[in-house]
């Protein structure tokens, strides 16, 4: 095994052990979407009707419609929480030691992202299993396509959190930024309502939701569950990942941080 893969393996194992030691984090990742699925879905179903027609032109219940949005919610929260650990590592100094290793900065940060993605996929799998136990019919034909799609969306949302963490130096400030980013991204998306329903309320609101990268992540997951690949959504997800990853690499440049300290 090459040194590059050893470095990735060590980072992934560290993230996995940290996750296993935080059982409350795992329970919160399951309880939060289950509450939306079992409690709030009843009211939203009454507002939208018993069935809707999404882009793939099939009638489904509202509970099934919001499953992709709740999967995206799990990945969004996990990406932000993984980045929260990076802010903690910066305060403790372990992040500085990691970035001074002989391996490229982009490889180390990508390894950190992949570790978070693996954790989020396990959380999504547990949530889908619980949803089936509660009587929600999950399409089985798209599970093979769902895994690589979750990798793509997890990388995008993780890179967004990584970009935010590169701009914050104190742990207490990151919690407020998380709420400022997570809830607008989730509610101003197609996670709970289809875009055509948004357009009935306000064309401007529909345009804002369509511009939201989380909307494209949700639509990519939604189409994948039915064995279809949404290429426009995939393009937006890849573009957002590249932009956020590029910004995070610039933000985590040790030389730039040294220059800031000298200016102070």
- Range 186-201 average pLDDT: 82
Tokens 């089985």 belong to residue: 140
Q: Picking from 12-21, 146-155, 197-206, 226-235, which range would have the lowest pLDDT averaged per residue?
A: 12-21
N-to-C CA span, the chain = 43
Query: For residue 27, with 0-12 CB atoms within 10 Å meaning exposed, 13-18 middle and 19 or more buried, which class applies?
Result: exposed
What six digits make up the tokens of 153? 């969306």
DSSP state at residue 52: B
37: which 2 tokens?
Answer: 């699925």
For 86-152, give the DSSP string.
HHHHHHHTHHHHHHTSSS-HHHHHHHHHHHHHHHHHHHHHHHHHHHHHTT----STTHHHHHHHHHH
| Average pLDDT in the chain | 78
Look-up of token digits 């935010």: 164
Mean pLDDT of the 151-163 span: 91
Q: Buried b / exposed e across 179-209, counting CB within 10 Å, b at 16+?
A: eebbeebbebbbbbbbbeebeeeeeeebeeb
Residues 193-204, mean pLDDT to the nearest whole number:
79
98-134 burial, b if ≥16 CB within 10 A, otherwise e? bbeeeeebeebbbbbbbbbbbbbbbbbeebbebbeee
Q: Which two tokens stand for residue 69?
A: 């949005």
DSSP state of 53: -
pTM beyond cutoff 0.85: no
Coil/strand/helix, residue 189: coil
| Least confidently predicted of 16-25, 73-82, 156-165, 242-251 | 16-25
Q: Which residue has the higher pLDDT, 92 or 135?
A: 135
d(CA 185, CA 203): 18
Residue of 25 and 149 predicted with greater confidence? 149
The greatest distance separating any two alpha carbons of the chain, rounded to the nearest whole angstrom, comes to 62
Query: In terms of pLDDT, which residue wins out, 112 or 36?
Result: 112
Query: How many Å apart are CA 92 and CA 16, to the nearest integer?
Result: 19
The SS3 of residue 216 is: helix
Given this model, what pLDDT does residue 162 score?
86
Is the pLDDT assigned to residue 216 strictly greater than 60?
yes
Provide the percentage of residues in the chain whose pLDDT is more than 70. Answer: 73
| Partner residues linked to 89 by β-bridges | none
């Amino acid at each position: 095994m090459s040194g590059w893969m050893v470095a990735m393996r060590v980072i992934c194992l560290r993230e996995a052990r940290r996750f296993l030691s935080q059982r409350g984090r795992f329970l919160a990742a399951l309880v939060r979407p289950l509450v939306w699925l079992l409690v709030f879905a009843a009211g939203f179903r009454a507002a939208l009707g018993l069935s809707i027609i999404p882009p793939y032109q099939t009638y489904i219940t509202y509970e099934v419609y919001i499953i992709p949005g709740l999967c995206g919610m799990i990945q969004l929260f996990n990406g932000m929480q993984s980045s929260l650990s990076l802010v903690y590592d910066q305060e403790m100094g372990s992040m500085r030691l990691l970035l001074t290793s002989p391996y490229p900065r982009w490889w180390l940060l990508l390894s950190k992202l992949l570790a978070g993605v693996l954790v989020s996929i396990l959380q999504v799998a547990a949530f889908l299993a619980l949803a089936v136990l509660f009587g929600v019919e999950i399409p089985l034909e798209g599970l093979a396509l769902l895994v690589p799609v979750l990798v793509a969306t997890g990388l995008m949302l993780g890179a967004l959190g990584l970009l935010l963490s590169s701009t914050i130096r104190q742990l207490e400030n990151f919690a407020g930024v998380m709420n400022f980013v997570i809830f607008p991204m989730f509610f101003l998306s197609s996670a709970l309502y289809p875009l055509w329903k948004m357009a009935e309320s306000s064309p401007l609101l529909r345009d804002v939701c369509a511009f939201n990268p989380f909307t494209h992540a949700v639509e990519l997951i939604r189409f994948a569950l039915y064995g279809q690949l949404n290429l426009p959504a995939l393009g937006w997800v890849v573009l957002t990942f590249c932009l956020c990853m590029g910004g995070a690499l610039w933000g985590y440049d040790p030389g730039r941080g040294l220059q800031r300290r000298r200016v102070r």
